[in-house]
Amino acid sequence: MPKKFDTNPLDPELPERAKAAAASRYDAPPKTPYSTSEFPTTPSSITEEETRRFSDTDFQAYSFAAAQPVVPYQAPNFSDMNRASERKVAKTGVSEKWLIGLPYLPFTIGLVAGLILLLVIPKDEAKVRFHAAQGLAAHVGILIVTSILKIVSNVTDVADFGNFIFTLVTSIMLIIFAIKAFKGKPVHVETLDDLTNWLDEKIGPVKS
C-alpha cells in the first residue's frame, strides 16, 4: 500500500495529473479581455454651436463709431482771416479789400480813415475793424515819435535830420502795409497789439 506522501518526482505524468486535479476542484470564470471605453463619434451625439460671424451691418450696429459718428477735425484756415474780398461792407457800400487798406495810407489819410471806420463799421465786421484799429495805432505811434523829434530838433539839427529819415521810413512802411492789405496778405504788427485792441474796444460804431 503506498504511503500518503509517496510520490515519484520523476514521474512524467505528474504535472498533467496536478492540473487535472486543480481543474476538478475550481472552475475559474472565463477571462474577458478589457477594452478602453470609446467615446461616441457620431455627429448626432456631440453638437457644437457654430461660432457666430457678424456681418458688416451687425458690426456697425454695435460699434461705438456707428452710435456716435466721428467728424474729422478740420484745422481753421487762418489765411481766410486776411484774404481780401469784393464783398460790400455794411453801412459803407465799399468793397472789403479797399477798407482794409485805407488805414495804412501814409500821412493823415490813413489816420482819418482808420478813425472813421471805427466809428462807422459795426462790431461784427471784425476783419475791417482790426485793420482800422491797427492802422490808427500805427499812425498814433508815428505821430508821437515825430512830435518828440520836432521838440528835440529845436535844440540840435541832428534831431531834425532824424525826423526826416523817420518820416521817410515810416511812410514807405505804411505804403507796403497798404499794398499787402489790398492784396489780402496778412499785416500784423505785434508791438501795436495792446493799442490796437484798446482802440477797437473803446471806439465803437456811433448809434444813429
pTM, entire model: 0.58
pLDDT tens for the chain, residues 1 to 208:
444 445 555 566 766 776 776 666 555 555 555 555 555 555 544 444 455 555 555 545 544 444 444 444 344 344 444 556 778 887 788 888 889 999 999 989 999 999 999 999 999 999 999 999 999 999 999 999 999 988 888 777 778 888 899 999 999 999 999 999 998 888 999 999 999 999 999 998 887 6
In the chain, the number of structural domains is: 1
Q: Which has the closest alpha carbon to 114: 12, 195, 4?
A: 195
Are the CB atoms for 97 and 86 separated by under 8 Å?
yes
Does residue 144 lie within any of the structural domains? yes
In a domain, 116, yes or no: yes
Domain of residue 179 covers 88-198
Give a yes or no: residue 163 inside a domain: yes
The per-residue DSSP string of 14-36 comes to HHHHHHHHHHHH--PPPP-----
Interatomic CA distance for residues 135 and 111, integer angstroms: 7
User: Is residue 83 assigned to a domain?
Assistant: no
Evaluate whether residue 207 is within a structural domain. no
